Chain A
Amino acid sequence: MIPEEIDGKKLKPFKGAHEDHGGGRKAGPPIRAIADNKTKLRSSLDEAIDDCNLKNGMTVSFHHHLRNGDHLGNMVIDRLAERGLKDMVIAPSALFPVHEPIVKHIENGVVSHIEGSMNGPVGRACSLGKMKKACTLRSHGGRYRAIQDGDLHIDAAFIAAPLADPNGNANGRGGPSACGVLGYSLADSLYADNVIVVTDNLVPFPNYPWTVRGGNVDHVCRVENLGDPEKIVSGTTRLTRSPTRLLIAQYAARVIRDAGIMNEPEFSFQAGAGGISLAFLDYLAEIMREQGVKADFARGGSTKFMVDMLEEGLIDYILDLQCFDIPAVESVIKNPRHIESDPFTSYNYHTKGNLATRAKAAVLGATEVDLDFNVNVNTHSDGWLLHGTGGFTDVCDSGCTIITVPLLRGRVSSIVDSVTTVTSPGELIDVIVTERGIAVNPKREDLMENLKGSDLPLKSIEELRQTAVDIAGTPKKPEYEDRIVALIEYRDGTIIDTVKQLKL
């Protein structure tokens, strides 16, 4: 049950994947004038922070293009602590293990809670009930919508910019912290009260392309190092060698072939950078060659695998939100068909068109799927909150959403009677692929029909569940305290589920 209100905030319960039809007006940032912005270059990050006039309880934001190599998030929060600020709300587009120091600032009262995404250590702190208020987990599209609609007000957006000029025009296309795409910072740059571009590579005006436009930027400052280049992008991305994961990837590619999806007009797809997804690309490329098919576009996270498909002509365009390796960064810089995207163009729900909904197929991982095809990517079966939503719920809007999961991870089954946490409703999920069988959502009669003649191991979701129970037994369910520590927000702003504090 979704409560009516939490921490003074009214909640709207989830009604259905496409029940919300918008309405109201978007939020607006303060109006500023050129008279006050002739120079915005600050001498240091400290000066930039001081210029923002931050107060207790305000919200600061970051993007996650520097992934586990990011230094800026910790640098800023340390400085908030130095200034004696309390109860600050952190609104990152995603967190990584590198951000573990936030836990310390939660414990000492500098940070109240997180709006957006949590991962690993910070998620653990949330499960333990260490945050003052309930956190909200949003998808990338959901985060854009929340900022655009005014649900999530950002007082200061700190934008790590691998390349920036003194006017604040910024992108991720060069410098020691090059990350390629910088699109996750779009909403922050458009709607925050204070926009601070932080760079370790200041270049002369004009820096183009301007993913972040100088006209939206209040302050520009330099730091020594934005991040650790080796952890920002990988040198090379390797294919998994696990025969089980390869088998799952191959099944997923064959589902797309045998269901006839690639032979329909405007074929396009989305696949991420996880082990199974990369292997999926490899198999898909092989099948596309065999069948003489090409895709109008592919949605990344991009890697060398996707770039190779682009260069071979199997894909017309890559529409990209995150570069995972050096070949992907190089490609987005040099190849005009490798297009930088952002959560507005890709994922937003309160929009007049996005890319995720246009994609004909998508392949995604998950932690749990249940008998109603609901998917959980946030918590583990033992109740710990360990993952942000990423683009998951947004991508589920594709024409054929395929979830690839090993049936068992160690002894833990991925197919359960009822998911620990609902991230995405079953109505958006079309196919579950495991190494021990493939289940099609019975609501997709068309897919069922198309796959009938295929030699793929089709099973019902109940059969898959039984296979797992037969071998692994039934685990004990986690026990919870009464307190809700996190809200799982659906992309339209309704609350689809809650996460409770773990009883240890």
Chain B
Amino acid sequence: MKKIKKTITGREGKKNDLLVTMKAEERGGVRITVESKVMSMYGEQIEATVRETLKKLQVKHCSVDVSDNGAFDYVIQARVEAAAGRLYEIEAPGVLPERKVPLRENEKERLRRTRLYMPGNNPSLLYNGGIFGADCVILDLEDSVAPDQKDAARILVRNTLLSVDFGEAEKIVRINPLSSRYGRCDIETVLPAGPDTLLIPKSENASDIKEVEEITGEIEQRENLKNKTFLMPLIETAEGVLNAREIAAASGRVVALCFGAEDFTADMGVRRTRSGKESFVARSLLVIGARAAGVQAIDTVFSDIKDTEGLIESTREAKDIGFAGKGVIHPSQIQPVHDVFAPGREEIEYARKVVSAIDRAREKGSGVATIGRKMIDAPIEKRARKVLNIAETLGLTD
């Protein structure tokens, strides 16, 4: 047992959350009291969930007071486990709830037009993050989580990954940097829950990535995980920008480089502007580095959620310099970004011509296809198929 005797986890009165007050006891078994907004409907079930969780954690004597505001079982489990973790030694990854959602096969090549940030300690936002159609969802353990809630958030994120169906979206967990005291435990805790990808903040060089790769590989082997976890370095310093290519090439697991303007401008000691001119060169270098290593590049977030015009301008610029997507911090930003990244009618028409010319040529047994007098080579075909794939995914092909 640790030195602390009493702890409080969770957020009182917040939607889909609960407050757990837990005291370590020497004897007397487990004593639970429950207050809940949905007492008559779920009171007994809440108590049973708390009891079962404590049993799995092998806590024999304690008192637990729950003040519930409509939390789901996996949230209750997470809050109780976090509380117990502060009173007793619990080794990562802790006690995983049963997987409720299908584990989908991880894909390296996919649409990443939008990645929606969700604070990792907020059950309600995490639960709803998947319904707005973002290509990727980010369950964030870093900047949106206060230092004293890091433990609670990583357990909540782990349970959320096992319990909430995010549909086709790529499930990304932003861990804390390995240089912090949280990073390693983040990976240890969330990886067995099967995120598609880890977003690695403050990536500055190849060895930052290699270190994560090593830990990730170890855990995958030890836990016998089916999916290979991908990595997405987040570049947000001058050093990182200049090393973009080596970071992208550091591991076969890297699928994209992301840019983080907030920390970058802080690092540079410059002001962040609406047009983003202060980071234009950095973002261009990042795209070039990513392309040189054969991975995608994804732009930073546009932080004024009321300025839709600004968002659209910024997204157009991102698309023009070669980014495949943009970070978003609010569901209302998703559609405008998708609209910018959607291939236009002419682009789709041309891609269709390319593909049908190639199909015709292959039918005839000819290796060479042409449109007019222009020969279609492999990169043109690849690009055309990609455009059609995106168009089809977006339902633009009718």
Interface of A toward B, CB cutoff 8 Å: 243-244, 246-247, 381-383, 409-412, 435-436, 455, 467, 470-473, 475-476, 478
| Main DSSP-derived SS at the A contact region | loop
Tell me the bound Cα distance from A409 to B38 in angstroms: 11
From A244, A436, A476, contact of B42 by CB (8 A): A476
Query: Smallest CB–CB gap between A151 and chain B, Å?
Result: 35
From A247, A455, A470, A475, contact of B41 by CB (8 A): A475
Q: Would A411 and B72 count as touching, CB distance under 8 A?
A: yes
Q: Which residues of B contact A243 (CB under 8 A)?
A: 128, 132, 330-332
Query: Smallest CB–CB gap between A177 and chain B, Å?
Result: 36
Tell me the bound Cα distance from A73 to B164 in angstroms: 49
From A383, A410, A455, A471, contact of B38 by CB (8 A): A410
Q: Would A473 and B131 count as touching, CB distance under 8 A?
A: no
Q: Would B40 and A382 count as touching, CB distance under 8 A?
A: yes
Minimum CB distance partner of A504 in chain B: B40
Q: Which residues of A contact B100 (CB under 8 A)?
A: 470-471
Query: Smallest CB–CB gap between A153 and chain B, Å?
Result: 38
Name 16 A/B residue pairs within 8 A (Cβ), A-sorted. A243-B330, A244-B131, A246-B331, A246-B332, A382-B40, A410-B15, A410-B38, A411-B38, A411-B72, A412-B70, A436-B131, A473-B42, A473-B45, A475-B38, A476-B42, A478-B40
Q: Would B40 and A455 count as touching, CB distance under 8 A?
A: no
Minimum CB distance partner of B128 in chain A: A244
Q: Which residues of A contact B165 (CB under 8 A)?
A: 467
Interface residues of B in 3-54 (CB under 8 A from A): 15-16, 37-38, 40-45
Minimum CB distance partner of A384 in chain B: B40
- Answer whether residue B62 sits at the interface, using C-beta atoms and an 8 A cutoff: no
Interface string of B44-77 (1 = CB under 8 A from A): 1100000000000000000000000111110000
Minimum CB distance partner of B49 in chain A: A473
Query: Smallest CB–CB gap between A28 and chain B, Å?
Result: 47
Minimum CB distance partner of B45 in chain A: A473
Query: Smallest CB–CB gap between B174 and chain A, Å?
Result: 20
Query: Smallest CB–CB gap between B75 and chain A, Å?
Result: 9
Minimum CB distance partner of B72 in chain A: A471
Query: Smallest CB–CB gap between B398 and chain A, Å?
Result: 8
Tell me the bound Cα distance from A411 to B71 in angstroms: 6
Q: Which residues of B contact A246 (CB under 8 A)?
A: 331-332
Q: Would A455 and B132 count as touching, CB distance under 8 A?
A: no
Q: Would B395 and A455 count as touching, CB distance under 8 A?
A: yes
Q: Which residues of B contact A478 (CB under 8 A)?
A: 40-41
Q: Would B128 and A435 count as touching, CB distance under 8 A?
A: yes
Q: Would A410 and B45 count as touching, CB distance under 8 A?
A: no
Q: Which residues of B contact A412 (CB under 8 A)?
A: 38, 41, 70
Interface residues of B in 56-102 (CB under 8 A from A): 69-73, 100
Query: Smallest CB–CB gap between B237 and chain A, Å?
Result: 32
Tell me the bound Cα distance from A473 to B331 in angstroms: 27
Query: Smallest CB–CB gap between B276 and chain A, Å?
Result: 25
Given contact pairs A410-B69, A411-B16, A471-B163, A476 touches B41 in the complex (Cβ within 8 A)? yes
Q: Which residues of B contact A382 (CB under 8 A)?
A: 38, 40-41
Tell me the bound Cα distance from A412 to B40 in angstroms: 12
Query: Smallest CB–CB gap between B76 and chain A, Å?
Result: 10
Query: Smallest CB–CB gap between A491 and chain B, Å?
Result: 31
Interface core residue of A411, A470, A473 (most chain B CB under 10 Å): A411
Interface of B toward A, CB cutoff 8 Å: 15-16, 37-38, 40-45, 69-73, 100, 127-128, 131-132, 163-165, 330-332, 395
Minimum CB distance partner of B68 in chain A: A411
Query: Smallest CB–CB gap between A244 and chain B, Å?
Result: 6
User: Which 4 residue pairs spanning A and B have beta carbons closest together?
Assistant: A410-B70, A475-B41, A411-B70, A243-B331
Query: Smallest CB–CB gap between A10 and chain B, Å?
Result: 34
Minimum CB distance partner of B44 in chain A: A476
Query: Smallest CB–CB gap between A61 and chain B, Å?
Result: 34
Query: Smallest CB–CB gap between B131 and chain A, Å?
Result: 5
Interface core residue of B41, B70, B73 (most chain A CB under 10 Å): B41
Tell me the bound Cα distance from A455 to B395 in angstroms: 8
From B16, B40, B132, B163, contact of A410 by CB (8 A): B16
Query: Smallest CB–CB gap between A253 and chain B, Å?
Result: 14
Tell me the bound Cα distance from A487 to B26 in angstroms: 55
Tell me the bound Cα distance from A475 to B46 in angstroms: 11
Given contact pairs A247-B331, A471-B164, A411 touches B132 in the complex (Cβ within 8 A)? no
From A247, A381, A475, contact of B131 by CB (8 A): A247
Q: Would B73 and A473 count as touching, CB distance under 8 A?
A: yes
Tell me the bound Cα distance from A471 to B70 in angstroms: 12
Q: Would B42 and A471 count as touching, CB distance under 8 A?
A: no
Query: Smallest CB–CB gap between A204 and chain B, Å?
Result: 50
Query: Smallest CB–CB gap between B166 and chain A, Å?
Result: 12
Minimum CB distance partner of A502 in chain B: B40
Tell me the bound Cα distance from A473 to B16 in angstroms: 14
Tell me the bound Cα distance from A450 to B349 in angstroms: 27
Q: Which residues of A contact B330 (CB under 8 A)?
A: 243
Minimum CB distance partner of B125 in chain A: A243
From B15, B42, B69, contact of A475 by CB (8 A): B42
Q: Would B131 and A435 count as touching, CB distance under 8 A?
A: yes
Minimum CB distance partner of A250 in chain B: B335
Tell me the bound Cα distance from A244 to B129 in angstroms: 10
Query: Smallest CB–CB gap between A365 and chain B, Å?
Result: 18
Tell me the bound Cα distance from A410 to B131 in angstroms: 16
Tell me the bound Cα distance from A473 to B72 in angstroms: 8
Query: Smallest CB–CB gap between B201 and chain A, Å?
Result: 25
Tell me the bound Cα distance from A409 to B70 in angstroms: 8
Query: Smallest CB–CB gap between A458 and chain B, Å?
Result: 14
Query: Smallest CB–CB gap between B241 and chain A, Å?
Result: 33
Given contact pairs A410-B15, A410-B38, A471 touches B127 in the complex (Cβ within 8 A)? yes
Q: Would A381 and B41 count as touching, CB distance under 8 A?
A: yes
Known: A470-B100, A476-B44. 14 other contacts (CB 8 A): A243-B132, A243-B331, A244-B131, A382-B40, A410-B16, A410-B38, A412-B41, A436-B131, A467-B165, A471-B72, A471-B164, A476-B41, A478-B40, A478-B41
Query: Smallest CB–CB gap between B162 and chain A, Å?
Result: 12
Q: Which residues of A contact B45 (CB under 8 A)?
A: 473, 475-476
